[in-house]
Structure 1
Amino acid sequence: MSKNLEKEIEALKKENRLLDSKIIELYTLYNMSKKLSLAMKLEEIFSGTMEVISGSLDIDDFCIMLLDKKTQSLHISACYGDIDLSGTSFSVGEGVTGMVVKTGERRLISDVSQCEDFLFYKGKKKNIGSFLCVPLKGRDGEVLGAFNVHKHEAHSFTGVDVDFFAEVADHIAAAVYKALSLRRMEELSNRDPLTGLFNRRYFFDHFEKEVERLKRYNHHSSLILLDVDYFKNFNDVNGHLLGDEALKAVAKVLINNTRDADVIARFGGEEFIVILPETEKEKAMAAAEKIRQAIEDEKVAGEENQPGGKLTATIGVSSMPDDAIFASEIVDCADKALYLGKTKGRNIVVAYTEK
């Protein structure tokens, strides 16, 4: 066989390998687009990405990190490989990934041993030779997180690889952007626009599920139903703008005087309701009294025009299973206790009793 023929055969083999690689890449992008276009939640995006990439590409590990805007920190949301990186986080600007998110520019490190700012996921993962980090950007260019790809050997990424994984990152970013937008819309639909608390609809949806859960495990739960005293008078004398500020002040008091596990909602008008999971009536009464006192102590503009010169609230308390075992009945019991409190002169906490 002539040398020229050997060269031609070798060139053809190389072209075939490149074609095979390109077909795999196109097939991967097609599968990813198909899979992620149906994903509505972040969990579906992460599981779909892992399924497609791990089943078709020659990479050792990858992970997706999302940005928490409030804390300006990045957290592992999904990872694939030989070690669990869950719980790892970086501040924006910290390490390679943190800088990629800060600048919005992808970065390839062909040999991580020569990179001083590479943190090896804070020492959790040592067997990385080469590393590619691509920012995940939403439609408006806002950075949502990062897509990290690792290979054990140094100098393992080609220019074609970098461009391909940038396309993969674009697919992930588009899906993440959609899921976050849907989540924001859902959260807004569940929130009271004035106070930022959950609304009545969300309360009933959540409480019915909570009651069913508690019945299964035979646990206790309590409700606090609160009504701002003489609120019509407050609005009539001070105007609705100050009335809105008063309601926001009450919402703030509720947030500051409840536990993270408690669920607070604006029930309607000047009424608020709080779910206290795993709480018996005696402890719920103590929690309600703490709230009542905090509202009375709160300085609210216009309260000097109220009877007694203070903004106050009357509170009714009910519990399950002591008072009822169905969500609507538990609310009704709290409402009856609240009404009794109003007949007793207001600015008081009253527990429901059958008598």
Structure 2
Amino acid sequence: MLNELLEVSFVALYLVDETSDELELKELVSNSNGVTEPNRRIPIGRGIVGWVAEHGLVQNVPDVSSDSRFVEVAALQPSRSELSVPLIAEGQVIGVLNLESDRSGAFSDMDERLLESTADHLANAIHVIRLHEQLKALATTDSLTGLDNHRAFFDRLVLEIERAAELGRELSIAILDVNSLKAVNDTYGHLTGDAALRAVASVLARHRRDGEMACRYGGDEFALILPGVGNDETWAMLDHINAELRSGEFEIDDLTFPLPTASWGISTYPVDGRRPTELLSTADERMYLHKQTARL
């Protein structure tokens, strides 16, 4: 451990949060009775750590009291010196590895080189992990709508059936087929049809609650997974979605179109089946029956 090897007060790992232009404290190891400050965030550019993130340069400060950038953290043991090194991957600063000591001039040139080497290895490891997470997300995300895709849906359904069996609770799925999408494509073009699908996806995402899944099942079909929800509650939710689809609009190229309506089919574990294929088959059959009935 760096804090033991270099006899520092604490070691902190910050990673850049690109959505807020801040550094977020991810890990902190302290020798001062394990005191930490969870969820600490530092604006990039503020303090020595923020300066290092902004400029991508190592800072070895022997006496922080004489450095106007230093910002003391009240929850931690008072510091006298600080060694802060950027984490750089693919030419971009992705975080900062920061050491502080209660002794002035605590960090030597050798310490600086050691921390730079450690930071290089850490940055590369974090970069690889993030690439893996991005690839995994791409493999399970529908590129048009941003919802989960069919693969993610099936994997999640298997998992939720197992949970429902363990907990002895219900589980419902709903299959949605967008009505008249072919007519939209034929009349106004596929770009308008794609915009219609994105608009429907947005409606489903707004109505999705914590722990539930909305996905693009394929083509003009969407699906919902509703853990712990029975048949009646599922239809109540679909009534709200249908009301928004019937009254809503979407825009493309400064033109406004009504949202397409949808046909639904639902099935509930365990009454309609105990395996994914059984639940999906039942929901599909009911959806197509609903679609045919609506045409009469």
Bin of the TM-score, shorter chain as denominator length = 0.7 to 0.9
- Structure 1 gap segments, 5+ residues each: 1-51, 347-355
Note the alpha carbon deviations across 1:182-220, whole angstroms, 9 max, x for none. 111111111111112111011111221122122212233
1:142 corresponds to 2:89: no
Shift of 1:94: 3.1
> Who is 1:181 aligned against?
131
Structure 2 residues not aligned, in runs of 5+: none
C-alpha separation between the residues in 2 aligned to 1:297 and 1:112? 62
Would the alpha carbon gap of residues 99 and 320 (structure 1) be closer, same or farther in structure 2, given more than 3 Å must change? farther
Is 2:201 the counterpart of 1:251?
yes
Secondary structure of 1:119's partner?
A: coil
Comparing both structures, which one devotes a greater share of its residues to strand? Answer: 2
SS at match of 1:345: helix
Amino acid at match of 2:284: D
Aligned residue runs from structure 1 range 158-169, under 5 A: 158-169=108-119
Aligned equivalents of 1:310, 1:203: Cα separation in 2? 24
SS at match of 2:142: coil
The residue type equivalent to 1:299 in the other structure is: E
Structure 2 residue 40 is the aligned partner of structure 1 residue 88? yes
In the TM superposition, residue 321 of structure 1 has moved relative to its aligned partner by 3.0
Query: 8 Å contact 2:200–2:259 — kept in the other structure?
Result: no
Match of 2:61 in 1: 109
Q: Name the counterpart of 1:222.
A: 172
In 2, Cα distance between equivalents of 1:99 and 1:278: 49
1:127 and 2:87 equivalent?
A: no
With over 3 angstroms needed to count, the CA separation of the structure-2 counterparts of 1:144 and 1:334, relative to structure 1, is same
Cα distance in 2 between the residues matched to 1:100 and 1:214: 49
> Aligned with 2:13: secondary structure?
strand
* One-letter identity of the residue aligned with 1:66: L
Match of residue 336 from structure 1: 285
State the alpha-carbon separation in 2 of the partners of residues 281 and 115 from structure 1: 65
Mapping of residues 207-218 of structure 1, within 5 Å:
207-218=157-168
- Aligned partner letter, 1:134: V
Q: Choose 1 or 2 for highest CA Rg.
A: 1
* 8 Å CA contact retained: 2:199, 2:259: no
d(CA) in 1 for partners of 2:123 and 2:111? 18
CA distance 1:53–1:161, shift in 2 (3 Å) = closer
Residues 292 and 314, structure 1, Cα contact 8 Å, conserved in 2: no
Matched, 1:261 2:211: yes
CA distances 1:29-67 after superposition (whole Å, capped 9, x unpaired): xxxxxxxxxxxxxxxxxxxxxxx5467554342121111
| Residue pair 1:221, 1:320 contacting (<8 A) in 2 also | yes
* 1:262 alignment partner AA: E
SS of 1:202's equivalent in the other structure is helix
Task: State the match for 2:267 in structure 1.
Answer: 318
Task: Using structure 2 for the length normalisation, give the TM-score.
Answer: 0.88
1:85 partner SS: coil
CA distance change for structure 1 residues 174 and 320 in 2, over 3 Å: closer, same or farther? same
| Equivalences for residues 23-102 of structure 1 within 5 A | 53=2, 56-81=5-30, 82-102=34-54
CA distance in 1, matches of 2:203, 2:276: 25
Instruction: Name the counterpart of 1:118.
Output: 70
Please, what is the CA RMSD of the aligned residues? Answer: 2.4
- Offset of 1:227 from its aligned partner? 0.7
Query: What are the superposed Cα offsets for residues 86-126 of structure 1, whole Å, 9 maximum, x if unpaired?
Result: 322223233332232122222223223444543334x2213
Aligned residues: 289
In the aligned structure 2, how far is the partner of 1:131 from the partner of 1:278? Answer: 51
- SS, match of residue 59 in structure 1: coil
Of residues 185, 191, 197, the one that matches 2:147 is 197
AA partner of residue 80 (structure 1): V
| 1:83 to partner: Cα distance | 2.2
Structure 2: which amino acid aligns with 1:241? L
Shift of 1:301: 5.4
Secondary structure, aligned partner of 1:99: helix
1:79 aligned counterpart, secondary structure: strand
The 1:324–1:95 alpha-carbon spacing in structure 2 relative to 1, beyond 3 Å, is: farther
Are the counterparts in 2 of residues 224 and 334 from structure 1 also a CA contact under 8 Å? Answer: yes
**1:74-94 residue CA offsets vs partner (Å, 9 max, x unmatched):** 222222223233322223233
* Whole-angstrom CA distance in 1 between matches of 2:17 and 2:259: 40
